[in-house]
Structure 1
């Protein structure tokens, strides 16, 4: 089905990252969730097809997953930066915004994920710090072939990945493994869909670094350098 014919609420629920684009266009997917994208865009003088294309482009960016073992080290780093670092930076602020809204509106609900927005804010700060160290220090060191000096920073990054895993466990605990209550609003549904996607993304991100890229540096699991 053409996305422009779908209700805004369904788009927010089914397309990870769509809520940020809809919000930017000032399209109300919560209270106005039953309105189709075409109708909502027409009322605001917007191009529904352009909005749908932006959402589809975002989805396309996150769907590409080459076989990492076939990539050179430089290409693998570029893939990690574009597919994970950039997308974490795009999507986490929107998840924080959605979490704040759910906590504000549904704070009295027994299943409200109280404290989630603050936790996600901590996650974003930790990830920003971690990714900056990779981008500014470790990755340039690796691409210049200074692998011997990179072993110690790699060990630090592995430890920080363990911390990221602990954050994912806290998110799962607060949300009861992203289990929605009955009759959850569109914002709550979009939040948990986004959290599931973020969890999967971060898990794959850590896997690619720990088990593929970093193995080429410190030789764990029989890793072999692949320039």
Structure 2
């Protein structure tokens, strides 16, 4: 099965719908996109056969899908700004509000995501600072045909920090496992956190594995320190 020896980042950029499969099995295709599928499955202790079968089915359909790997930097940046930057700025304030409410009302519950609101506030601050640097410095340079390795490396390092923040978010939220009889606010909070996690991973993937890659030479700039 040749697919097993391709990197997660490569599969995510070549097969439409692959990221959904990776999300389902909690396979890191953004910062961990350099790992082969076989390595990632071994690390998680997952059976390769059903996952490869699902990716193979998706691969047969992917020719009609939107392929960002062949898009211009300008088109990809416009997509990232609209699909992710704008959405994150809407997502986080509401998630912070919901988290505060859950922590206030259910503070005495062992399942309460104590400290989550404060963590989300920190994530919001760091992500906003990161996006502003991209919007004001890096993206205009990439749009003009430049490929500044310094700013790219800085953004990749910050992507690793965002990944760590997501992991801590999941710890605080008990891996998004709702307690029996959870209220609507709690349910909405965890649904929103799951969406944020998937969106931010897709966001990082598009930048690390496509936008930051020198597609003219085939050499990538995905963070070499991702282990």
TM-score class normalised by the smaller sequence: 0.5 to 0.7
Q: State whether residues 95 and 191 of structure 1, in contact with CA within 8 Å, keep that contact through their aligned partners in structure 2.
A: yes
Partner residue, 1:125: 125
Give the gaps of 5 or more residues in structure 2: 1-64, 222-227
Q: TM-score, normalised by structure 1?
A: 0.66
Question: How far off is 1:143 after superposition?
Answer: 0.8
Distance across 1 between alignment mates of 2:103 and 2:182: 13
Paired position in structure 1 for 2:143? 143
TM-score with structure 2 setting the length? 0.66
Partner of 1:209: 207
CA apart distance, 1:66? 3.4
Between Structure 1 and Structure 2, how many residues are aligned? 157
| Shift in Å, 1:217 | 7.4
Equivalent position of 1:111 in the other structure: 111
Checking the alignment, whether the CA contact within 8 Å between 1:95 and 1:194 is kept in structure 2 is: yes
1:153 aligned counterpart, secondary structure: helix
Aligned to 2:176: 178
Aligned match of 1:155 in 142, 153, 156?
A: 153
- Partner of 1:193 in structure 2? 191
What is the rounded CA distance, in whole Å, between the counterparts of 2:66 and 2:117 in structure 1? 33
Distance, in Å, in 2 between the alignment partners of 1:146 and 1:71 is 16
Whether contact under 8 Å (1:215, 1:222) holds in the other structure is: yes
The 5 A counterparts of 1:1-227 are: 66-147=66-147, 150-216=148-214, 222-223=219-220
Q: Please state whether the residue corresponding to 1:107 is helix, strand or coil.
A: coil
Larger Rg: 1
Q: RMSD over aligned Cα, in angstroms?
A: 1.8
Instruction: State the Cα deviation string for residues 54-92 of structure 1 (Å, max 9, x = none).
Output: xxxxxxxxxxx8321131111000000000000000111
